[in-house]
Structure 1
């Protein structure tokens, strides 16, 4: 009887140690989630776009003038005619550059977020927001043109876009329009 109690207790201890080890292993080897870095302002909010942009305008695209790939990135430079400057100064005609996906061909360019960063196509009207560069229309060295970091079709017409963007410009964002990066952990599954 004593031997069976020792065997029974020993078996329970072994099972408990094995169970604890399996639980630790299961917890330690969970499916890893992913970590994403969110950098830059929320371009899904027009008040943030207006606050963080050097200049905003309604433009009509004249022509795509240059496509280039450099260091794993691709850029499209487009000549636009300013229909109305909504924030900042714009020349009557200027070149703007935007990032596009590599491997583009005329009429076949794409961006990562076509809803808030549409590819500027000749003959179409857009609201663009410029982050940096010259918006005067003066020609300079390649790379000195305006950097359009936001482009959306001007579906509201000139008067509708003017009204909408004047409100966005006049309304500072409730939360800070920060460009800092923060890591977001996304659990697996």
Structure 2
């Protein structure tokens, strides 16, 4: 059986904390597999399962580190619009990246739903854990980051509508059997 796993962690006051996980495991039948964790390819699921959602501008990549076989990038961001939860005016956001990164050359396994925060660009981020207050020495774990392609007003409208309506299907964090063609297609 083949296994593809991506595991991230977060930092809070310099200590490792619980992080996000996304697992895809091949199943017995052709074209089917199990997905564990929420489907972050659906905005309504991102909104429902996240501690906070905001439109931010990346200011600077402040720190990169590798630990336990994983790599982490902490980026200082400026909050442009809070869509869910509470966010300080500026805060440090940590995300998992591929090992061996260098300034301007960081990458993730899924750039469509988990873009690397590049200074000078705007993003919609969803925080799974950590502090969003911006207090010195704290960090938030972003498990979702997407370029703000609709502009600030467009993202505000999109996410306010998503937050108001919620997901049509129950949102669980458990495993679901899905067909190979359905993963990541819903948006």
Say whether residues 1:52 and 2:49 are aligned partners: yes
Corresponding residue number in structure 2 for 1:42: 39
Deviating beyond 2 angstroms after TM superposition, the runs of 4 or more aligned structure 1 residues are 31-37, 181-186
Corresponding residue number in structure 1 for 2:141: 147
C-alpha displacement at 1:177, in angstroms? 1.3
C-alpha displacement at 1:183, in angstroms? 5.7
Q: Distance in 2 between matches of 1:174 and 1:160?
A: 22
Q: Distance in 1 between matches of 2:165 and 2:159?
A: 10
Equivalent residue pairs, number: 153
Q: Larger % of helix: which?
A: 1
Corresponding residue number in structure 2 for 1:26: none
Corresponding residue number in structure 2 for 1:107: 104
Structure 1: gaps spanning 5 or more residues:
1-30
Pick closer, same or farther for the CA change 1:47–1:183 going to 2, 3 Å.
Answer: closer
Query: Which structure has the larger Rg over C-alpha atoms?
Result: 1
Q: Distance in 2 between matches of 1:164 and 1:184?
A: 27
Structure 2: gaps spanning 5 or more residues:
1-27, 181-187
Q: Larger % of strand: which?
A: 2
- Of stretches 172-181 and 82-91 in structure 1, the one that deviates more from structure 2 is 172-181
Aligned with residue 81 of structure 2, among 66, 81, 84: 84
Corresponding residue number in structure 2 for 1:9: none
Q: Distance in 2 between matches of 1:110 and 1:157?
A: 23
Corresponding residue number in structure 1 for 2:169: 175
Q: Distance in 2 between matches of 1:146 and 1:73?
A: 17
Q: Distance in 1 between matches of 2:89 and 2:70?
A: 29
Q: Distance in 2 between matches of 1:131 and 1:151?
A: 11
C-alpha displacement at 1:139, in angstroms? 1.6
Q: Scaled by the length of structure 1, what TM-score is found?
A: 0.75
Residue deviations 1:56-77 (CA, integer Å, cap 9, x gap): 0000000000111111111100
